[in-house]
Amino acid sequence: MNAEKKRFLNSIVIPVSIIIIIWLVKFIEYMLNTHFDFLGIYPLKIEGLPGILFAPFIHADIKHLYANSIPLLILSTALFYFYREIGFRIFIYIYLTTNIWVWIIARPAWHIGASGIIYGLAAFIFVSGIIRKHTRLMALSMFVLFIYGGLIWGIFPNNIQQEISWESHLMGLIAGIVFAIYFKNEGPQKIEYQWEDDDENDDTYYLEESEEEEKKV
């Protein structure tokens, strides 16, 4: 097994495990004919505190779950692949910070789903790629912008779809940006190429060599 393949497989373990768990939770809900909404976040209520840990695993229905599963899988895998040294810390920080902020400022309602984490990951990957000026990360950032650029509209209140937790989206987005800046000096950095310095050294060498030849003549 080559190094790149091994690295990818290691990067996908946690994301796949999370996806399996959230689908298993929905399966249990259907089997028991119940809903685990009470494990979501209810702002400024003691009973809503467990949601800081459990809300991302609870989804309203299959459509909601499916819509979150693919971007969560792609973005978290990208995080663990490109930021393998600090990826787990970033994921946990975005996860907890987003949900804590939702508990503090969101409107009084049960907030469930992993979309806040998705916004956080998308924002982190995009902003971090730009800050680091790392070629591969910038390409990944452009991919995130192209595929999930429409996510930006989810951070605003929507009178038509009031059931959507735009607060989770906004808090995730802010958390992603904050940690992209905070971790800017950790993880992958811009690749510095030395050809300009080498060219300068070569010019000097050839100039000196030419002068030596003239002296010999």
The DSSP result for 138-186, as a single string, is HHHHHHHHHHHGGGGGGGS--SS-TTS-HHHHHHHHHHHHHHHHHTTTS
Could you give the number of structural domains in the chain?
1
Domain interval for residue 189: 3-216
pLDDT in tens, the chain (217 residues): 688 888 888 899 999 999 999 999 999 999 999 999 999 999 999 999 999 999 999 998 898 899 899 889 999 999 999 998 899 999 999 999 999 999 999 999 999 999 999 999 989 998 998 888 877 777 877 777 677 666 666 666 764 455 778 899 999 999 999 999 999 888 777 665 555 455 545 444 334 444 444 444 4
Tell me the pTM: 0.81
CATH number at residue 100: 1.20.1540.10
Tokens of 88: 């787990």
Tokens 């030395």, residue located: 194
